[in-house]
């Protein structure tokens, strides 16, 4: 019931990923300056865009939770942010590899996108420690939503601040806006972006399904235990002493 | 609403005046960090970007101390229950707490900036002082808004002292960027390349965004 649409979604993302990989290796031209290593662009940049989109979506779902009080929105927001944190690690690693290959350093401070990404990653790394150090589940959901909203608002602000801090004399090696990309590169980039976005949605839905299934399983198990206990006491087990409270509230 | 906020703020200031918990600790901390920087950087005098960086990083680290304490008294002594039971707007609690933090920061800077001028700063402090005061006040508004929010967010967690710096410091990176970039020419005498307007604009944007976001979400942190 929860996994509805998961199968077509998985097939679509697998097909899109396959197409994207095919386009990257056989269709897109080699970059004149950077050669083969430039192809990491087709995974690095879509991953970064999807990760940031996931963070902002997590914030929007947090707003939705605070407005409706519906716990399933909290769950959605949690899974979105959690997945984005995992993908952010991949973004930082692919970014470092690209930087090493094209500029000779594992890390370059004058690449504003990379730097802002690191700051945002550091901030979101606190999401889980914050969330799981609050015991009351209701408060946990509320505080996590507040964090998601603050951090979501911080993402664009931080980008502005870091970009302003760069001197504009530094040449932008590759403009991601597509202004100077040939058509075949742009097509490959958009297909890759679509593939990664589909992959993100599939993973998000999969984790949500698994979480919901385990919650339901737990609920069923508790109910089963209640039924068994009831049968047990009906079958002539020693009755609890008069005046004591029943062990489980479900005994009534 | 302003009246209630003022009452809570006065209560906080009175507690601070009697216990002397936050501001002296922040001031002491900042002077200690200046000494550490003297040895860490192995410089007797700083100027330009180094001076700006040391001053702003020290102020931001000192902010962490006050943010750690801001809601603790309410929590430990049960004052928060009183605030929650009182028929007042929750926003006024935020305004009072942010106001208290703002005043602590101003008091800290009254000590830390002259101390910095005496201990580490090479160039004269008096000439750039008016611009520096403007920048510090603008930054304090943002620090106070974010600090009050983070403090309320972290006070209910088990690992409060860990959550506050981990959460606060990344959020304050734009303040560090704007502050250090705008202060650097003040301390180097290189006024030609000064882009003060850009950084004042960034600080103003930061203050506005976080004041609005804080007021919008603060109610949910005090809801029980």
Chain B residues near residue A154 by CB distance under 8 angstroms = 171
Report in angstroms the alpha-carbon separations of A234 from A64, A75, A239, A246, B31: 47, 39, 9, 14, 74
Averaged pLDDT score across all residues of chain A = 82
- Chain B closest CA to A167's CA: distance in Å? 11
Mutate to test the interface with B, among A124, A146, A151, A155 (most CBs of B within 10 A): A146
Let me know the angle formed at the C-alpha of A89 by A83 and A94, rounded to the nearest 5 degrees: 125
Chain A residues with CB under 8 Å of a chain B CB are: 66, 119-120, 122-123, 125-126, 129-130, 133-135, 139, 142-143, 145-147, 149-150, 153-154, 157-158, 160-162, 164-165
Chain B residues near residue A150 by CB distance under 8 angstroms = 149, 171, 213, 217
Closest chain B residue by Cα to residue A148: B217
Tell me what pLDDT residue A2 has: 63
Tell me what pLDDT residue A123 has: 92
pLDDT digits (tens, 9 = 90+) for B115-130: 998 888 888 888 888 8
What is the three-class DSSP state of A105?
coil
- Judge whether A229 lies within some domain: no
**Domain residues for B122?**
2-221
Q: Complex ipTM, two decimals?
A: 0.85
- pLDDT-derived band of residue B137, with 50, 70 and 90 as boundaries? very high
Tell me what pLDDT residue B37 has: 92
Which of A119, A150, A160 is nearest residue B217 as measured by Cβ atoms? A150
- SS3 percent helix, strand, coil of chain A, rounded to 5, is 75, 0, 25
Number of domains in chain A: 1
Q: What is the rounded average pLDDT of the residues A171-184?
A: 56
Residues 6 or more apart whose CB falls under 8 angstroms from that of A198 comprise A9, A12, A13, A16, A17
Report in angstroms the alpha-carbon separations of B201 from A112, B43, B195, B205: 19, 33, 10, 6
- pLDDT-derived band of residue B99, with 50, 70 and 90 as boundaries? very high
Query: In chain A, what is the straight-line distance between the N-terminal and C-terminal CA atoms, in Å?
Result: 31
Averaged pLDDT score across all residues of chain B = 87
Q: How many CA atoms lie within 13 A of A30 on its CB side?
A: 6
Interchain CB contact of B217 with A (< 8 Å): yes
Gyration radius of chain B's alpha carbons: 18
Tell me what pLDDT residue A79 has: 93
Closest chain B residue by Cα to residue A154: B171
Chain CA centroid to CA B98, Å: 10
- Judge whether A128 lies within some domain: yes
Interchain CB contact of B213 with A (< 8 Å): yes
Tell me what pLDDT residue A169 has: 42
Tell me what pLDDT residue A113 has: 79
Chain B residues near residue A66 by CB distance under 8 angstroms = 217, 220
Q: Answer yes or no: is pLDDT of A167 > 60.
A: no
Residues B209 and A153 sit within 8 Å (Cβ to Cβ): yes
Tell me what pLDDT residue A249 has: 45
Q: What percent of chain B has pLDDT over 90?
A: 42
Helix boundaries (H) for chain B: 2-19, 23-41, 48-69, 72-76, 79-85, 90-119, 129-154, 160-171, 173-188, 196-221
- Judge whether A9 lies within some domain: no
- Judge whether A172 lies within some domain: yes
- Judge whether A175 lies within some domain: yes
Interchain CB contact of B209 with A (< 8 Å): yes
DSSP A115-131: HHHHHHHHHHTTHHHHH
pTM comes to 0.83
User: Minimal CA–CA distance to A162: which of B178, B215, B59?
Assistant: B178
Q: What is the rounded average pLDDT of the residues B6-27?
A: 87
pLDDT digits (tens, 9 = 90+) for A47-67: 999 999 999 999 999 999 999
- Among B27-31, B42-46, B69-73, B93-97, top mean pLDDT goes to B27-31
Tell me the backbone φ, ψ of residue B135, rounded to 5 degrees.
-65, -45
Q: What is the rounded average pLDDT of the residues B81-92?
A: 82
Report in angstroms the alpha-carbon separations of B98 from A215, B27, B43, B123, B145: 40, 19, 36, 33, 5
Residues B47 and B187 sit within 8 Å (Cβ to Cβ): yes
- Chain A closest CA to B3's CA: distance in Å? 27
Residues B58 and B33 sit within 8 Å (Cβ to Cβ): yes
pLDDT digits (tens, 9 = 90+) for A71-109: 889 999 999 999 999 999 999 998 888 888 877 888 888
Q: Answer yes or no: is pLDDT of A19 > 80.
A: yes
- Give A35's strand partners: A31
B163/A150 touch (CB, cutoff 8 Å), yes or no:
no
Number of domains in chain B: 1
């Amino acid at each position: 019931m929860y996994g509805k649409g998961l199968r077509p979604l998985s097939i679509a993302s697998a097909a899109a990923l396959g197409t994207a990989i095919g386009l990257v290796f056989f269709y897109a031209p080699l970059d004149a300056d950077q050669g083969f290593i430039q192809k990491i662009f087709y995974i690095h940049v879509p991953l970064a865009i999807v990760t940031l989109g996931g963070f902002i979506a997590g914030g929007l779902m947090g707003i939705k939770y605070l407005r409706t009080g519906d716990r399933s929105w909290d769950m959605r927001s949690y899974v979105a942010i959690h997945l984005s944190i995992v993908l952010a690690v991949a973004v930082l690693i692919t970014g470092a590899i690209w930087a090493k290959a094209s500029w000779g350093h594992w890390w370059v401070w004058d690449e504003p996108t990379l730097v802002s990404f690191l700051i945002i990653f550091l901030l979101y790394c606190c999401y889980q420690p914050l969330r799981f150090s609050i015991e009351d589940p209701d408060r946990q959901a509320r505080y996590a939503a507040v964090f998601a909203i603050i951090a979501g608002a911080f993402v664009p602000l931080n980008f502005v601040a870091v970009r302003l801090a760069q001197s504009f004399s530094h040449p932008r090696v590759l403009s991601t806006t597509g202004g100077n990309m040939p058509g075949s590169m742009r097509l490959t980039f958009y297909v890759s972006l679509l593939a990664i976005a589909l992959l993100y949605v599939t993973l998000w839905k999969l984790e949500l399904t698994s979480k919901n299934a385990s919650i339901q399983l737990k609920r069923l198990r508790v109910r089963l235990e209640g039924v068994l206990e009831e049968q047990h006491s009906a079958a002539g087990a020693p009755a609890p002493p008069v005046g004591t409270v029943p062990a489980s509230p479900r005994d009534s | 609403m302003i009246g209630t906020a003022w009452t809570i703020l006065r209560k906080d200031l009175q507690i601070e005046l009697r216990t002397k918990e936050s501001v002296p600790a922040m001031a002491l901390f900042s002077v200690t960090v200046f000494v550490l920087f003297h040895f860490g950087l192995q410089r007797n005098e700083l100027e330009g970007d180094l001076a700006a960086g040391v001053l702003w990083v020290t102020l931001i680290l000192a902010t962490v101390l006050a943010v750690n304490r801001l809601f603790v008294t309410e929590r430990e002594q049960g004052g928060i229950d009183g605030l929650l039971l009182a028929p007042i707007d929750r926003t006024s609690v935020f305004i009072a707490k942010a106001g208290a933090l703002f005043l602590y920061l101003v008091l800290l800077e009254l000590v830390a900036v002259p101390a910095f001028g005496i201990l580490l700063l090479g160039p004269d402090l008096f000439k750039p002082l008016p611009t520096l005061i403007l920048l510090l006040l603008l930054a304090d508004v943002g620090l106070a808004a974010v600090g009050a929010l983070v403090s309320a967010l972290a006070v209910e967690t088990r690992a409060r002292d860990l959550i506050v710096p981990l959460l606060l410091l990344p959020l304050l990176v734009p303040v560090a960027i704007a502050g250090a970039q705008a202060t650097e020419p003040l301390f180097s005498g290189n006024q030609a390349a000064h882009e003060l307007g850009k950084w004042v604009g960034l600080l103003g944007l930061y203050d506005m965004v976080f004041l609005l976001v804080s007021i919008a979400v603060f109610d949910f942190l005090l809801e029980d």
